[in-house]
Structures are given as C-alpha cells and as structure tokens.
Chain A
Amino acid sequence: MGGYVGRRPARHAFDLRGRVSAMTTEERRQLSDAPVPNYHLSERQLERMYYYMRLSRSLNERMMALQRQGRAAFVIAGAGQEAAQVGAAMALRPGVDWLAPYYRDLGMNIVLGMTAREAMLNELAKADDPNSFGRQMPAHWGSVSRKIVTQSSVVATQLLHATGIALGAKMRNDPIVVLTCCGEGSTSRGDFHEALNFAAIHKLPVIFYVQNNGYAISEPTVKEMPVEHVADRGQAYGIRGQVVDGMDVVAVYQTLRPAVELTRRGNGPFLIEAKCYRLWAHSSDDDDTRYRPRKELEEWALKDPVVVFRQRLLEDGMFAEEELAEIDELVTQEVRDAVEWAQQMPDPKPEDALGYVYREVQ
C-alpha cells in the first residue's frame, strides 16, 4: 500500500447481511453474532480496493506492452475482472484461508500479498519468480506462505484440489475457507461437476467462484451452456447459487464476505457467479476482432470496473480527485519500478530445467 493512508473516518458504511439470498434465520443470527468485524466497509478498505484494482490493471497493461515490444513472450490478463477479483479476495482472511485460483486472478494474488515486483518476475519468467521459477507460463500462480495452490493451464482441475483441501480442513476441524476460481468456460468440464457434487455431499468449507466474463476464448456463453446463469446449476447439487454483479467491487465484497463466514461456520459450500466482462482478447496470442462485435466491447468498456469504481468514490464524496490521483501515481511508480527491477533480474539457466521432479524421501 506504499505510504498512502486514508486520513478521514468513514463517512458511510455498507451493510452486508442482505446480500446473500436464501439465508436462514439461524444463519443471520450466526452472522450477527460473528466476532469478525468486517461486515462494513471502512474508508480504508475502499481505498485499498481501488489501489488493488488499479495496480492489477496497470500491471496487466505494462505486461501487454512488454509483450508487444518483444520483451515478454505471453500475457494472459484479468482486465475487466478486477472488481470480481479484488472484492472476493478481500473477503478472505489472508494467511488463514486458501485460494485455488485460475490464470486471470492477478487481482486476487495482489490482495493476498503478491507485490508488483513479484508479478513482473512472473511475467518475465525470471529465475526468482516465486510462483514457478520460470517453469510455467505467466499467471500460473502458487505460493506456500500465502496459501495459494499451484495451478496448471488445464481448466477446472483446481476445483477438485480446493475440495480436497476443504475435506482435509473439515477432517481436522480447522476453521478455514477455500476459495476457488474459474471462468464460465471451465464449468463445462467434468471436474467442475464432480467438485460441486462432492463438496455438497460433505458440506465442505469451499466457495466455487465463477468469473463469468462472457467468453471462453472465442465462444460466447450461449455456445457453452443453454442456461442463463452458472449459479443456477448449484441447485442440482444442493449448493446455494448466487449471482453478483462482478463489475461492482462493493457488491462482490458484500456477497462474498457473509458467504465466506457462513461457509467457515459449517453451512456448506456456495456457488457464486460474478457477471463480468473480458475487456481484452483471451491472451496476447489471440485476436478477438475475429469473433467479438466491436459494439459489444464498446458498451462494456463504459462499465470498466476500475473506471466506474473511481467515479463512484468521487461521486459518493468518499475521496477527492487529488487523493485518487495520488494512488494512481503511486501505482504508476510501483509498476515502473517493478519493470525496471525485474528486467535486471537473472533468467533461469538452461539446466535449471532439471531437478525437483521428485521430493527427496526423508
């Protein structure tokens, strides 16, 4: 967060308890009794939300520029999904709760502690990239200390890993929550269905969080599923499904925060679908003009979650323009520093390809 600290007490707060539909009276009581205070958003939290979203977008922009300059091989980004990611990750308890992310989740990683420098080490596949040390493509996350599960490029497999972690936690009576993410495209795979089914049978502390960004590479949602909402599929498994406006970071937080606490308290898993939009092509290798109508993109661009949230903070009188400009400048500097620093860092040696295939038997 650099040196930026909010200077005023919060002028208003958001009541969160109404956001989860179909909550039982008992669950409402559980939440009102909850010792965890974060049911209201403070000014400090709103400021952090904006900072995280801005940093995530700026990093992605810089990564794409590096790729276009030939200084990075590949980019897969979360542009358009910053609200969905930051709002959800802020509902977790860092270092306690687990994240089994997917490749667009830069924003989530930032909330859980990834620095701009680390993100650039990852993008440039440097020897010290803490996620995979250059062994995987960029945006394949993983961190032991932050409880972020290593992921592959295969979609939906991580939903089962999250379910397994939740099973282990339940067997040990550990009061944790596992948040696992995927796009709506991943929900066609068998692992999505197998994970929901098992988690529901055993009432495991896992939240399946689908960031529906409208496209699976070139395929719009209508070619992926005949139902309107992924969340509706929850009912078939006995899981509560919930749709949230994934372009609205506050709505996302207000939905995830009580869901996280209910799940932690043994009320079973959730399937939460954040409706958002992939503002960029699938990846740096994709040309979305082949399949995506420009008009559609232009309409969604008006709802850009970073821009809209900034505007809202100003209109609501939470922050003055110069305060947000200060955050913007901080982010710009942080990203510039990260790029300069990471480019100087060593690449892996060719023979670093070897090793760590098996862990030594103790």
Chain B
Amino acid sequence: MAEVNVLEAIRETLDEALSEDDRVFIIGEDVEAGGVFRATDGLAKRHPGRVKDSPLAESSIIGISIGAAHYGMRPIAEIQFADFIHAGFDQLCSEASRWSYRTKGEQYLPMVVRTPWGGGVHGGQHHSQSIEAYYTHMPGIKVVAPSFPADYRSLLKASIADPNPVLFLEHKRTYRLVKQDVANAPAETSIGRARITRRGADLTMFAYGLMLHECLAASEELAGEGIECTVVDLLSLQPLDVETVLEAARMTGKVLVVHEDTLTGGFGGEIAALIAEHAFEYLDAPIRRLAAPDIPAMPYHHAMEAFFMPDKQKIAAAARDLAAY
C-alpha cells in the first residue's frame, strides 16, 4: 500500500466515517470547499448535505455540535486554527465537558472537535498556538494529539466512535511532512494509551505532535554519539497513559519532557509531577523540561519563530546535558 501523509489519513478517515454512519456530519468554516488545509477536500460532493459550512463563529460551531450530538448525531466540528478555538472555550468547558457529569451520565455528547495546532509554518501569534494545556485541565474532555498518519487514522476513528467530547489535535506542520504506509504501521486504536516509539537505556523523552518527530530525529543523531534514548509518543493527553509514562521513566532514570507550548503551566509540568511523585526513587537526574519561552505567543519572523520553538538541535543539546549528569 502506498504511503499517505497526515492530511490524507485524516481525509480518508472522515470519508469512511461519513460513508459508514449517517449520523456523522462535518461542520466548520470553509469545509464545503475543502477547508484551508484541504482536510475535507471532495467530501461535500461525496456526501451531499453532510459537510456544512458554518458562519465565522467558533462558539456556534461547538455549541451547535453539542446540540446535534445530544440529539443523536455524530458531529465532527472543525475549528480552522486552534488559535481561534478560544471563542468556543465557554461551550467546551462550561458545557460539553460537564454534560455527562451534571446528569450522572444520563446525557452525553459523542462529538469530535478537530483543530490544527502548533507552529513552524510562519503562522505568527494567531496561527501557531499550542492549546492543549487549557483543555487537559478540564476533566470531561478527551484530548488526543497523534504524530504519525496511522495513529491519526486509528485515533480519529476512535474519537468519532467515542461517546464523549474529544478534542482532536492535528499538528499543522506535520500535515504534509510525515508519511507512512498506514497498512503496515503500528496504530493505537484506544484513546488513553501511549507508545514507546524508540528504546534506549540512557534517557527518556516524552513528546507529542511535531516535537515527537524532532525527538526521534535528535535520538538518531545522539545514537551516533553513543547516547541511547527512549522516546514516548504520548498520543493521548487526557486521559493520559500514566502507567506507560512511569514505566518509561523508570527504564532510564533520566527524563526530558519536550513541548512546543510555553513552559509555565504547560502539559510537561504534569508529566514531570507524575514522575516526581511516583517514580522518584528511580531518577538519576532532575527532570528536565524543554519548552517554548514564557512569552505570550509565537512571533512571526522566521528567526524569532525558530528561536521560540524547540527543535532537533535544542533537544539534542538538552539530552547531552542530561546524559552527562
């Protein structure tokens, strides 16, 4: 089977979901024309009436999806850029996340909110954000952030089948960058499981999205220097696979958590805290977090953008320090 990129994996999965279940529909800005990243290209024509353009109003995209899911439909909402989801924060956090809780499970919301996140595309402050920390802090919402096409495919399927609201994060830099023969690649089919993607005895890296690929590239380089890394693809941030996180930390005793989000209050703090709390005796070095600096958002100019984002070189440098500790 031919290789597909992330975008193709997503598009094919959406197409299949629309074909298999007539309750599924897509709603978002420009989705009928295929979307700005072409994730829904051709779907409006293949599934008449079930790919719906929305007005430019994110709260309505999410709020209407809540109503439709409550009614028994399976909405897949697209927020064009994760940066614009904040207008729908109220609907996600005051409403969707609590729907099951406040009715003791009598009412529930099988809905997915897909959104492209992350930087590296010269998107400036409002087309580059990492938003995961806001939503992983909100029990009741699942947050999924795959890195490889096969996982995008299997976890999007799982998200559509899930009876809870799922925020499905698609790293926009990887849309066309990462390819895989999805038929033969490993694919995680359950939300809430992480995967140890690479095994090495010297230190353990935790990452998701574009940073997972940067970690793998850095590990390759480090292997040439005799530093062997374990790399964990977290895949799902909420629920988090705590068992695999702790197991991978214990394997090496040295932990490097990498994310593109700013440092303070970022998701890496949660990983670090879990390991400090439950695997302290196994640690041979302080837990290291590599993240973006604490400035409001990613700057536009390419030099400042590169400065903001962790990458292979920065990861390798941090890993060398950690390995030498």
Chain A residues close to B by CB (< 8 Å) = 100, 132-133, 135-136, 140, 142, 144, 149-150, 152, 154, 157, 159-169, 171-172, 190-191, 194-195, 197-198, 201, 355-362
Contact of B71 with A by CB under 8 A: yes
Chain-A contact segment, one of B96-104, B127-135, B211-219: B96-104
B:193-236 near A, CB below 8 Å: none
Complexed CA–CA distance, A124 and B245 (Å)? 44
How many B residues touch the partner, as a band? 35 or more
Instruction: Decide: A167 near B140, CB < 8 A? Known: A152-B95, A154-B90, A161-B95.
Output: no
Q: How many A-B residue pairs have CB under 8 A?
A: 138
Chain-A contact segment, one of B62-70, B145-153, B271-279: B62-70
B129 to chain A, nearest CB (A): 21
Complexed CA–CA distance, A162 and B70 (Å)? 10
Residues from chain A with Cβ under 8 Å of B140 in the complex:
357-358
Residues from chain A with Cβ under 8 Å of B69 in the complex:
164
Beyond A194-B63, A360-B163, 6 extra complex contacts between A and B, CB < 8 Å: A150-B99, A161-B64, A162-B67, A168-B73, A194-B60, A361-B162
A61 to chain B, nearest CB (A): 27
Chain-A contact segment, one of B105-113, B248-256, B307-315: B105-113
Complexed CA–CA distance, A140 and B73 (Å)? 24
Q: Which residue on chain B has the smallest CB distance to residue A148?
A: B107
Q: Which residue on chain B has the smallest CB distance to residue A167?
A: B68
Instruction: Decide: A164 near B70, CB < 8 A? Known: A357-B100, A359-B108.
Output: yes
Residues from chain B with Cβ under 8 Å of A168 in the complex:
67-68, 71-73
Q: Which 6 A-B pairs have the closest CB atoms?
A: A164-B67, A160-B63, A168-B71, A194-B60, A164-B64, A161-B67
A-B contact pairs, 6 of them (CB 8 A): A144-B107, A162-B67, A164-B63, A165-B68, A194-B59, A359-B100
Contact of B168 with A by CB under 8 A: no
Q: Which residue on chain B has the smallest CB distance to residue A144?
A: B106
Q: A198 to B54, Cβ gap below 8 A? A: yes
A191 to chain B, nearest CB (A): 6
Complexed CA–CA distance, A135 and B103 (Å)? 8
Complexed CA–CA distance, A165 and B69 (Å)? 8
Q: Which of B54, B68, B103 contacts A142 (CB 8 A)?
A: B103
Complexed CA–CA distance, A195 and B57 (Å)? 10
Complexed CA–CA distance, A357 and B103 (Å)? 10
Q: B60 to A161, Cβ gap below 8 A? A: no
Complexed CA–CA distance, A168 and B72 (Å)? 8
Residues from chain A with Cβ under 8 Å of B59 in the complex:
160, 190-191, 194
Residues from chain A with Cβ under 8 Å of B65 in the complex:
164
Residues from chain B with Cβ under 8 Å of A133 in the complex:
103-104
Residues from chain B with Cβ under 8 Å of A166 in the complex:
67
Complexed CA–CA distance, A37 and B70 (Å)? 30
Residues from chain A with Cβ under 8 Å of B139 in the complex:
357
Q: Which of A167, A190, A197 contacts B67 (CB 8 A)?
A: A167
Residues from chain A with Cβ under 8 Å of B94 in the complex:
152, 154, 157
Contact of B154 with A by CB under 8 A: no
Contact of B174 with A by CB under 8 A: no
